[in-house]
Amino acid sequence: MIGLYNNELFNAFKKENKIKISKRGKRNGFLIKKINNEFFSFILVDNEELEELYDIKFYVEWRKIQFECGCSLEKNTVFLRHYDDYKIAKKFDFLEYDRGCFYKEVSIDECSKFMYKKIDYLKNYKEKKCEVVKAEFLKIYKKNVDDLK
């Protein structure tokens, strides 16, 4: 999950009746832990203290089939993920990384549609699906995935 707290995005995890938010680096008012020579900041907050709390998934259309994906912005590629349908995985030479789970790395330029689905946990699990242009897709991906690493 992702939490928006004081206009900043954090990784978020449910912990008991609260939400634990964390991010790399040191922040005032947060518990600081050093893990593998890197500093992380943690704090427990209530739902009401968060501006947003959501999950986001990314999708592309490749060869007229929609796939969930991840991106490598440095390499300008997407990692297509496919589950359970062995015929499609075999037809397009996907690699199996777990039982029934397949992936394939392709150039982002080979993809024709760019979409994301956002599930808002503070608004009764309201789901928002959007199709966007490639530049906007990459911007949203960077903000919600790469910048939180």
The mean pLDDT value for 58-77 works out to 96
Q: What is the mean pLDDT of the chain?
A: 94
Q: Which stretch of DSSP H or E encloses residue 40? A: strand 38-45
The mean pLDDT value for 121-136 works out to 95
**Which H, E and C letters describe 48-112, residue by residue?**
HHCCEEEEEEEEEEECCEEEEEEEECCCCEEEEEEECCHHHHHHCCCEEEECCEEEEEEEHHHEE
The mean pLDDT value for 52-71 works out to 96
**Does residue 86 surpass a pLDDT of 90?**
no
With a CB cutoff of 8 Å and minimum separation 6, the contacts of 131 are: 113, 114, 115
The mean pLDDT value for 136-143 works out to 96
pLDDT over 90, % of the chain = 87
pLDDT tens sequence across 28-56: 999 999 999 999 999 999 999 999 999 99
Predicted local distance difference test score (pLDDT) of residue 17: 86
Predicted local distance difference test score (pLDDT) of residue 84: 80
Predicted local distance difference test score (pLDDT) of residue 15: 87
**Does residue 76 surpass a pLDDT of 90?**
yes
pTM for the model: 0.89
Q: Cα separation of 61 and 72, whole Å?
A: 17
The mean pLDDT value for 127-148 works out to 95
